[in-house]
């Protein structure tokens, strides 16, 4: 008899998908960072307002969301077929398709391709998936320098920092901090640089120009891959992507397998949903699309690396797979009251915020990101704004149940929490036992002063660190009712 | 109309005045209130903390207790949200399809208080009098799970003597989130701080909501800081008379 051990998850020791410390610990540090709190509060409230305004303009927004949801559900139900269709069409138009089981394989493939092109440098379009697999580190290990060309990614790279937002990787930085990073790290920058946004953008433009014009290899992610034609699509705001996608001789695109969509008609739905949800724009400034290789125009050597890295494992969970519908707009981050206060680094993974809390644990296995499904008050704001209607609160609840179930099977003895919850279930499922507990709990009145309790023992001590607790009343409601409603 | 009251374990144990107010209000409007004594807890805390097998006895008890009743009301958007969106889902996940079907049927007859008053009983002016400056916090589950919309506000606007003041960023979570407030108490506290700042900015004497749990959280913070602002459940305001 064989034991099914489950589908492979993203390997440990490579890439950036795992928490290095539990969310509550990382969050505590972030919450005390005054500058971070201010930067995040300002940035998220600005994007929130922009998104709300442009979404309200569309009379058919809810229909668009429903269409996006339906297209993604259909794609996931037939993912293997669409991927093979994409491969066939990319290949027919002169591209080469590579299948990468995980981050390690993807990094090996990409390193080999750059070496084969005889290059030691590459320019990169902003891409989260290459950060997921830790590509820059892997390339550096092979003596290849990857240059980030998206302004925010450049700020993060020059600052020896980590991205903290899906769309705005340097959202945790303000312009004064960015000026300091440029002055310290750019080398060729004007020492009189001010923190005016236009001046900062100009400094980056001058810095990047040389790289665009000399790079032999460009690396990108993909927002969408259209199966019926083999067309890849990247949407962006700065034009750096267009440069990377058109100037180098060799183009390597890394795409998570869930980014495939069946047809051009489907693309039309997502190109309406994505910019309004992410940047709060009606249309993003640059939409680049390319299909294989066009002789004499643009890259003459095109490679598409299709990445699994735990996605098939997520697909195997009939509830959890909905997280694969994500189009990386980051609207859920911007409305999340937890993300707004802790920022993205607290989540550990390149996918922060509500979507990260349901995606990262599925890619790595829940035990490797065990605190993330609990990093939410389940307020539901994320679900309301999701352009493809991912029910993130339900997925969080589902992953909490998976975590508890998996922990239960992996342990000889129950955790203290499991013992408490079992006892609570015993009490709360019986009116007689609940009534007895209410009578016993009345002793809590001894702890109270003026109807309030200032200190509770663990596990409730976290509550009374910042909040009073109510003293138990003399009489529960059911007792009052049973006594014939005195007064 | 005969209405069965699901008091919720929290209000039963810690806030009996919310249940008394619900009874007073419904009887004043000419309805008959039953309190099925076999009721206990909806199980939401267990479901939301990942303990679904442990939630099953509570779900079964809720379904069995309230199955004979035509109309059920609870003074909590969160508990009704759990009944409506989680009971059948959990029963299915735990392999009890029959319980899931029954849970769906009972959930369809279970109303949050403002829903019952406006949608089922068809009243907005309940004849209440409450001469205080009040800020209303729309709780997340009433807003985004049950979609109560402005029903509580319509009820409050019809109260005589009340001075209802708008709460800035009203629809942002107060940071309670059940066991979230304990597991992630620092983040929860940061959210609470912003909620309290907004409540205090209104100059309100009273912060009200349709959930005792969120009010316990907001009120616990307001009390700790000795702000003098008190939290009062929507049912208590609607039950008040001159």
Are B24 and A469 within 8 A, CB to CB? no
Per-residue pLDDT at A4 exceeds 80: no
φ/ψ region of A75 (left if φ > 0, alpha if ψ in -120 to 50, else beta) reads alpha
Q: Where are the alpha helices (DSSP H) in chain B?
A: 9-14, 16-28, 44-49, 52-66, 77-85, 87-93, 97-107, 113-115, 140, 151-157, 180-183, 185-201, 212-224, 234-239
Rg (CA), chain B: 17
**Can you tell me the distance from the alpha carbon of A112 to that of B149, in angstroms, rounded to the nearest whole number?**
57
A280 upstream amide cis, omega within 30 of 0: no
pLDDT confidence tier of residue A411, bands split at 50, 70 and 90: confident
CA distance B169 to chain A (A): 11
Rounded Cα–Cα distance for residues A395 and A361 (Å): 11
Mean pLDDT of A303-308: 98
- Asked if the Cβ–Cβ distance from B37 to A466 is below 8 Å, we say no
Please write the tens of the pLDDT for every residue from A212-239.
Answer: 999 999 999 999 999 999 999 999 999 9
Rounded Cα gap, residues A480 and B11, in angstroms? 13
The set of long-range contacts for A182-186, using a CB threshold of 8 Å and a minimum separation of 24, is A182/A155, A182/A158, A184/A158, A185/A158, A185/A159, A186/A158
Task: Please say whether the beta carbons of A147 and A312 come within 8 A.
Answer: no
Cβ count near A52 (within 10 Å): 14
Predicted confidence (pLDDT) at residue A3 exceeds the cutoff of 80: no
The predicted pLDDT at position A276 comes to 98
CA–CA separation, A55 vs A61, rounded Å? Answer: 7
| Whether residue A45 has pLDDT greater than 50 | yes
Measured CA to CA, the distance from residue A328 to residue A307 in angstroms comes to: 16
pLDDT at B186: 97
**Which among B12, B145, B178 has the least Cβ separation from residue A477?**
B12
| A48-A54-A60 Cα angle (round to 5) | 120
- Residue A290 belongs to what H/E stretch? strand A286-291
Q: Which residues of B touch A430 (CB under 8 A)?
A: 40, 61
Q: Where does the pLDDT of residue A158 fall: very low under 50, low under 70, confident under 90, or very high at 90 and above?
A: very high
Grade residue A449 by pLDDT with cuts at 50, 70 and 90.
confident
What's chain A's average pLDDT?
A: 95
Q: Which residues of A touch B9 (CB under 8 A)?
A: 428, 434
- Say whether pLDDT at A433 is over 70: yes
Q: Which residue has the tokens 């993909």?
A: A222
- pLDDT(B89) > 80: yes
Residues A246-266, mean pLDDT to the nearest whole number: 98
Cβ proximity of A305 and A109 under 8 Å: yes
Q: Does B96 touch chain A (CB under 8 A)?
A: no
The pLDDT of residue A1 is 41
The verdict on a CB contact (< 8 Å) between B50 and A424 is no
As a whole number of angstroms, the distance between CA A47 and CA A223 comes to 20
Chain B residues with CB-CB distance to A400 below 8 A: 48-50
Q: Please answer yes or no on whether A24 and B186 come within 8 Å at the CB atom.
A: yes
Question: How sure is the predictor about A2, in pLDDT bands with cuts at 50, 70 and 90?
Answer: very low
The overall average pLDDT reported for chain B is 98
pLDDT digits (tens, 9 = 90+) for B178-187: 999 999 999 9
Provide the pLDDT for residue B242.
Answer: 87
Q: Is the dihedral of CA A428, A429, A432, A433 positive or negative?
A: negative
* pLDDT tens figures, B31-59: 999 999 999 999 999 999 999 999 999 99
B32-34 and A469-470 as β-strands: parallel, antiparallel, unpaired? unpaired
**What's the gap in Å between the CA of B179 and the closest CA on chain A?**
9
| DSSP state, residue B45 | H
d(CA B132, CA A398): 43
Task: Report CA B230 to chain centroid distance, whole Å.
Answer: 17
ipTM over 0.90: yes
Q: What is the pLDDT of residue A446?
A: 86
Interface contact B187-A475, CB threshold 8 A: no
Cα–Cα distance, A242 to A222 (Å, whole number) = 13
A-chain residue closest to B175, CA distance? A377
How far, in Å, are A376, B35, B62 from residue B175 at the CA level?
A: 9, 31, 27
Classify B166 as helix, strand or coil: coil
- Give contacts of A 29-68 with B, CB under 8 A: 31
Q: In the prediction, which pLDDT does A6 show?
A: 73
Q: Which residue of A has its CA nearest to B13?
A: A476
Indicate if the pLDDT at residue A181 is higher than 90.
yes
Q: What pLDDT is stored for residue B183 in this prediction?
A: 95
Per-residue pLDDT of A363-393, as tens digits, reads: 999 999 999 999 999 999 999 999 999 999 9
Q: Using pLDDT thresholds of 50, 70 and 90, give the confidence band for residue A339.
A: very high
Q: Which of A37, A401, A440 to mutate against chain B (most B CBs within 10 Å)?
A: A401
Q: Say yes or no for a CB contact (<8 Å) between A374 and B61.
A: no
Chain A residue numbers with beta carbons less than 8 Å from the beta carbon of B43 are 428-429
What's chain A's Rg over C-alpha atoms?
26
- Determine the average pLDDT of the residues in B162-175: 98
pLDDT of amino acid A487: 76
DSSP string, A72-135: HHHHHHTHHHHHHHHHHHHHHTT-EEEEESSHHHHHHHHHHHHHHTT-SEEEE---HHHHHTTH
Tens digit of each residue's pLDDT (9 = 90 or more) over A243-252: 999 999 999 9
* pLDDT of A98 over the 90 cut: yes
**Helix H segments across A171-280?**
175-185, 197-214, 240-246, 264-278
Give the DSSP letter of residue A389: -
Report the pLDDT averaged over residues B133-161: 98
Region of A230 please: left (phi>0), alpha (psi -120 to 50) or beta. left
How far A460 CA lies from chain B's nearest CA (Å)? 6
pLDDT in tens, B102-111: 999 999 999 9
Query: Is the minimum CB–CB distance between A141 and chain B shorter than 8 Å?
Result: no
pLDDT at A168: 87
At residue B4, the 3 state secondary structure works out as strand
pLDDT at A5: 58
Q: Do B7 and A477 touch (CB under 8 A)?
A: yes
| Maximal C-alpha separation, chain B | 52
């Amino acid at each position: 008899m064989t034991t099914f051990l489950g589908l492979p998850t993203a390997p440990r020791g490579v890439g950036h998908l795992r928490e290095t410390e539990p969310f509550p610990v990382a969050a505590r540090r972030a919450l005390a960072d005054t500058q971070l709190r201010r930067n995040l509060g300002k940035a998220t409230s600005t994007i929130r307002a922009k998104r709300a305004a442009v979404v309200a303009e569309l009379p058919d927004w809810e229909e668009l969301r429903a269409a996006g949801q339906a297209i993604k559900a259909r794609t996931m139900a037939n993912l293997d077929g669409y991927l093979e269709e994409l491969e066939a069409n990319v290949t027919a138009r002169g591209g080469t398709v590579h299948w990468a089981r995980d981050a390690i394989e993807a990094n090996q493939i990409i390193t080999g391709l750059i070496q084969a092109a005889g290059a030691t440098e590459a320019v990169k379009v902003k891409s989260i998936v290459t950060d997921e697999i830790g590509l820059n580190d892997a390339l550096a290990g092979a003596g290849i320098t990857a240059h980030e060309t998206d302004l925010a990614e450049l700020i993060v790279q020059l600052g020896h920092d980590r991205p903290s937002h899906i769309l705005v990787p340097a959202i945790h930085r303000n312009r004064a901090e960015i000026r300091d990073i440029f002055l310290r790290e750019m080398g060729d920058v004007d020492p009189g640089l001010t923190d005016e946004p236009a001046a900062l953008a100009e400094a980056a433009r001058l810095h990047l120009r040389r790289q665009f014009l000399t790079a032999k290899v460009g690396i990108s992610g993909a927002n969408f891959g259209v199966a019926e034609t083999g067309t890849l699509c990247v949407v962006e705001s700065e034009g750096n992507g267009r440069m990377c996608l058109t100037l180098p001789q060799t183009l390597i695109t890394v795409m998570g397998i869930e980014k495939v969509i069946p047809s051009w008609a489907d693309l039309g739905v997502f190109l309406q949903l994505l910019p309004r949800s992410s940047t709060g724009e009606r249309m993003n400034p640059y939409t680049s699309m390319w299909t294989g290789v066009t002789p004499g125009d643009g890259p003459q050597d095109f490679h598409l690396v299709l990445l699994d890295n735990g996605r098939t494992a997520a697909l195997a969970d009939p509830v959890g797979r909905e997280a694969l519908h994500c189009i990386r707009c980051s609207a859920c981050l911007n409305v999340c009251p937890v993300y707004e206060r802790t920022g993205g680094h607290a989540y550990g993974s390149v996918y922060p915020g509500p979507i990260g809390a349901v995606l990262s644990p599925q890619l790595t296995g829940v035990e490797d990101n065990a605190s993330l499904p609990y990093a939410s008050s389940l307020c539901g704001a994320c679900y309301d704004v999701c352009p493809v209607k991912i029910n993130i609160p339900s997925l969080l609840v589902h992953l909490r149940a998976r975590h508890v179930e998996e922990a239960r099977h992996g342990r000889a003895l129950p955790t203290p929490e499991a013992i408490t919850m079992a006892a609570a279930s015993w009490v709360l499922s019986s009116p007689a036992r609940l009534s007895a507990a209410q009578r016993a709990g009345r002793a809590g009145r001894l702890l109270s002063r003026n109807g309030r309790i200032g200190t509770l023992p663990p596990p409730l001590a976290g509550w009374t660190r910042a909040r009073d607790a109510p003293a138990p009343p003399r009489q529960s409601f059911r007792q009052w009712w049973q006594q014939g409603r005195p007064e | 109309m005969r209405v069965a009251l699901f008091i919720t374990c929290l209000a039963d144990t810690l806030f009996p005045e919310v249940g008394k107010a619900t009874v007073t209000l419904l009887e004043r409007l000419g309805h008959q209130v039953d309190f099925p004594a076999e009721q206990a807890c909806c199980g939401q805390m267990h479901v939301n903390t990942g303990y679904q097998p442990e939630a099953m006895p509570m779900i079964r008890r809720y379904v069995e207790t309230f199955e004979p009743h035509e109309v059920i009301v609870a003074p909590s958007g969160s508990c009704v949200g759990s009944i409506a969106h989680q009971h059948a889902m959990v029963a299915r996940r735990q392999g009890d399809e029959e319980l899931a079907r029954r849970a769906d049927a009972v959930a369809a007859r279970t109303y949050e208080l403002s829903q019952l008053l406006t949608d089922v009983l068809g009243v907005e002016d309940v004849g209440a009098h409450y001469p205080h400056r009040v800020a209303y916090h729309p709780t997340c589950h009433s807003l985004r799970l049950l979609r109560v919309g402005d029903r509580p506000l319509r009820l409050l606007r019809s109260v005589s003597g009340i001075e209802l003041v708008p709460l800035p960023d009203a629809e942002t979570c107060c940071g309670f989130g059940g066991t979230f407030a304990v597991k992630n108490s620092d983040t929860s506290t940061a959210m609470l701080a912003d909620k309290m700042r907004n409540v205090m900015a209104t100059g309100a004497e009273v912060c009200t909501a349709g959930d005792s749990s969120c009010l316990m959280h907001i009120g616990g913070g307001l009390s700790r800081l000795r702000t003098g602002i008190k939290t009062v459940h929507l049912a208590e305001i609607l039950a008040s008379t001159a």
